[in-house]
Structure 1
Amino acid sequence: MGFKIPRGTQDILPGKVELWQYIEEKARELCKRYNYLEIRTPIFEQTELFQRGVGDTTDIVQKEMYTFEDRGGRSLTLRPEGTASTVRSYVENKMFGQPEQPVKLYYIGPMFRYERPQSGRMRQFVQFGVEALGSNDPAVDAEVIALAMDFYKELGLKSLKLYINSLGDKESREAHRQALIEHFKPRIGEFCSDCQNRLDKNPLRILDCKKDRDHELMQNAPSILDYLNEESEAFFNKVKQNLDTMGIDYVVDDRLVRGLDYYNHTAFEIMSEAEGFGAITTLSGGGRYNGLVEEIGGPATPGIGFALSIERLIMALEAEQVTLPFETGIDCYLVSMGDAAKQKATGLLYELRKAEITADTDYLDRKLKTQFKAADRLDAKYVAILGENELDNNVINVKDMEKGEQQEVPIDEFIDYMKQKTREA
């Protein structure tokens, strides 16, 4: 019996993995420019962290988590998202005491959700996310949004649309919550069981329901923007002013609530409008989560962040037919014929790699013609040929595969010659 990959996962093979490496490196470069530092957290955490951090009423906690009991009887969960783990680490390691605030972090890593696999949605997927903890300045909200937009634009995406909303502070949310309950309660029996369960616990989540989104009560539901108090409205206006100053276009969408319970004030999503991208157009989303640090056991600390799926990013790149300029192939392929030449090539290959030149050779004792075919498959820029005649004359023939030109080089000058050629490239 053969083994097959689990449903909802994927193997990223050589030839495709270079694309992922390029994207991840672009994320790291951008975060360095914005002064966000990388954090790496465990792939599994205590289940209660996500129950409290993500929210009991969310689909993630209710339906999608991979939870198991370890041999010590502890309930553990594979992380379904990155914010709760990052905040847990922030609290546990007392980063709130660092002199430099806010603490600005980013992560890149696998997340796990048990949901129906479909294009761009996997059970194991890779998220890139950032978190800024320790500042209530609306300028930080705009900075986080700008970083997300810059990431997509620098990778070549053009069909983007940014949607923003304010969920308000605790007072504003409570007023809106009561209005939603009064609005939906008389006819809540017409909604799905999830919406019925959320009516008293978190009625805002009803607005995020996919099953009942066309119900007439959804269309005329009370808008959060009508319930923002003076402070919340001023905060949202400042976020918009900062985005205007940076020249970042946006659309205010008062139905944008996000799927996690910890959001307040700023919420945003970035959509792809590319033709052929698919029915689900969301590329990424995020928002402010003042109160989450306290929920996880830390001091009162404001925070904001976003997360995006690398898989959905790659879908968007394909929809817009963007080709990223990542490098493939190797610098030099060593072809050797005869035992003595092969022995000499072993040393030369080692010296090439020490000189930071990507290089490889044949390990199957194949014929000259077959070795050249291997060099072609590896997309080698140069092929160095060493046979008995070359060895007797203390030279090696180096062929430029693009130009078709061949140069005889003294063996003791070969490494320096290749250094020069790769620098010129």
Structure 2
Amino acid sequence: MSMFNQDPMRYYRTKRDNAKRRVGDKYTILGFISSGTYGRVYKAQSKEADGRIHAIKKFKPDKEGEVVTYTGISQSAIREIALNREISHENVVALKEVILEDKSIYMIFEYAEHDFLQVIHHHSQTLRSPISLSVLKSLTYQLLNGLLYLHECHIIHRDLKPANILITSGGIVKIGDLGLARLTHEPLQPLFAGDKVVVTIWYRAPELLLGAKHYNKSVDVWAVGCVVAELASLRPIFKGEEAKLDSKKNVPFQKDQLLKIFEVLGTPDEREWPALKDMPEYHNMKRLDTYQFRLFDWCASRMKTHQGYEFLKALFAYDPDARLSAKNALKHRWFQEEPKPTRNAFFGLPPHQIPPHRRISHDEVPSMMPLPSAAAQGGNPGPPAPPGFQNLSQGAGRPGSTASFGSLSGGTGGGRDTAGHVRKKSRLA
């Protein structure tokens, strides 16, 4: 009796699986980029005629002791796949396809040669000079352009930080890592449910630090302010120590991080933020020392112009309802001053000021994805940078995670930042 007569479904599944093209049939693995709790990321080249370079993010199955078991797809992976499949924008990283093979999920993304963290590291450690105003504006404008698209799609990112913001060799910014992103329009469950802690600590908005259960897209705008300030100064503006969750997964009061914010922006009060008194951690905040506003002094040698200060001040409004939206931020006068942003953020830069392409290694490459021979690994320097143009309005103690999509960009290598601290993700499943 044939297999079909014995078990037609088994016959069907076998025939279907044999007909599928596996990852190794479609891509040549060029090297290993990074790893984390979710799995591993590889640099790969398509076997199609275009030979395009991609980043392959492999989610590994869960482990129980020494036995590898398949327990389903993680919440983070489902979100990332579902959201990436529905969006398309120049300033958001593109998902090409998803492959399920041997109970592992492979997400194939477009490849980007750099990220914001790498640019910061290159300027602080190699060049030892600040990022030019033209590059700063171009990177910021493109970041906001991508964020506006996400927000108009009712998507809140919830983990914007330098390692998660990629840049191609052509100077195009790509927002990555939607693993913590959520739909804000009629969500199936409250934003607080399932993710008690969101946004890496140094980029976390004050309403989140004060225990807000309800929040909106403005938490992303605060994070953009932190990223812009870090690009301008080459170090995090609010570099606090994160208080850890207790054994019952209760979120502690983030005293040190709030103090770092207050030292620059001053202590908030109910006049500028009427909802402040309703925050769960308000009583703990009132016990802290009082600080005066000194952002103007901080900006004097970093943001260069008065409009630069006004721009950062608007991103750092304590009241989420008074904070700039991504749409209004793009219209700010800072972008209308010379030098204006360019589509290619690296336009006009001498070669030594552009960060080198990331290094890849051959460690942790599984046997199912063999590396090509050394002679075949020349890599791909990427396309030449397009010419820049003006007026885009038409269109590491570093907390973080080797598990973030931002690691596809390589960062500064080894899952560590310029201070050498291991990155970690602030998330609860």
> TM-score, normalized by length of structure 2?
0.26
> Which entry has the higher C-alpha Rg, 1 or 2?
1
Structure having the larger proportion of residues in helix: 1
Report 1 or 2 for greater relative contact order, CA contacts < 8 Å, sequence distance ≥ 6: 2
> TM-score, normalized by length of structure 1?
0.26
